[in-house]
Amino acid sequence: MFKLSRRTITNSILIVCAVFLVSIFSPSFKNSTQKTLKPQLSLIDLLKRECAGIIFYHRNMVEFDRLNGDVESLRRNLFDLREIEQENSRLKSLLGFKQKSPLHLVSSRVIARSPDSWSSSVIIDKGKYSGIRRGMAVINTRGLVGRVVEVADNNSKILLVNDPSQGISSIVQRSRQEGLVSGSLGSNLIMRYLPDDAQIAVGDIIITSELSQVYPKGLLVGRVINIGKEFSGLSRYAVIKPAVELSNIEEVLVIIP
């Protein structure tokens, strides 16, 4: 009853072998076939898409408008998030600095800037109620910012280091050479009254000296970028790049003595 003929057995073996061979060689077969047919398939697909685009033009247009709106809204969200991210990192660094620093600090935000180009000042959102008093030094995580010149209940006016009326008694960190740093309304500061044989070189770091009655000793002022001779020829001056980007400050720390 179950006796199979020789022919049936041979056929069955041949079929199994064929299936086995196809399963082995099918990936390479598939790949080469796809490779060969790709241009034609792409062309057909393109034609199909173009036809569908023409047929469903109105639907696509509505969809496009909706998606465009979504993109705009997401872009706005992304911009807001970037702003929050930057603010977050700034505040984190401020907080870190505040925790590390032995000084008693009050952090505050810049709310307005000088109304003209002949002075360099900012207004911050903390005043007498936060313990701020006239003459206090103001810094940020990078270095010296300025000093408090006016205090109201809830805001204070800060004279920035690049204001020409500023005079900061400073020293060169490497050689302890003393000089007076003053602002020039530009983006750089000038260290003046340096003797002809002053120990100062390009790249030197300038910090506040202990002679300063307003600023605590050792606050970073900036780095020397150029040295020149005064017009009179009696002394030299050094151009200093401030450690703080004064035109972009948003948060500051007031040092409470």
Partner 1 sequence: MKKWLIILLTLIILATLQLSWPVCLSFFHAKPDLLLIFVVSLVFYFNFKIALLFAVLAGLFKDAFLPSASAINTLAFSAWSYLTFRLSSQISTENSYVRLVIILIISLLNNTALGIQSLNSGNYIPAGIFLRNLLITSVYTVALSPFIFKLTKRIAA
- Contact footprint for partner 1 (CB under 8 A): 111-119, 121, 123, 149-150, 157, 159, 163-165, 182, 184-187, 190, 192, 247-248
* The token pair that represents 240 in the structure block: 């200093």
Q: Can you tell me the distance from the alpha carbon of 113 to that of 121, in angstroms, rounded to the nearest whole number?
A: 6
Q: Can you tell me the distance from the alpha carbon of 149 to that of 117, in angstroms, rounded to the nearest whole number?
A: 18
Which residue carries 């030094």 as its tokens? 137
For residues 99 and 248, which CB has a smaller minimum distance to partner 1 in the complex?
248
How many other CB atoms sit within 10 Å of the CB of residue 177? 20
For residues 94 and 239, which CB has a smaller minimum distance to partner 1 in the complex?
239
CB of 182 to partner 1, least distance (A): 6
C-alpha distances in Å from residue 52, one per residue of 65, 98, 102, 197: 18, 63, 70, 83
CB 195 within 8 A of CB 246: no
For residues 71 and 111, which CB has a smaller minimum distance to partner 1 in the complex?
111
* The token pair that represents 247 in the structure block: 């035109």
* Backbone torsions φ then ψ of 213, nearest 5 degrees: -90, -20
For residues 97 and 193, which CB has a smaller minimum distance to partner 1 in the complex?
193
CB of 131 to partner 1, least distance (A): 21
Residues 6+ apart with CB under 8 A from 36: none
For residues 158 and 198, which CB has a smaller minimum distance to partner 1 in the complex?
158
CB of 70 to partner 1, least distance (A): 28
Q: Can you tell me the distance from the alpha carbon of 66 to that of 63, in angstroms, rounded to the nearest whole number?
A: 5
For residues 10 and 187, which CB has a smaller minimum distance to partner 1 in the complex?
187
CB of 44 to partner 1, least distance (A): 51
CB of 237 to partner 1, least distance (A): 10
CB of 189 to partner 1, least distance (A): 11
In one letter, which amino acid is 124?
Answer: I
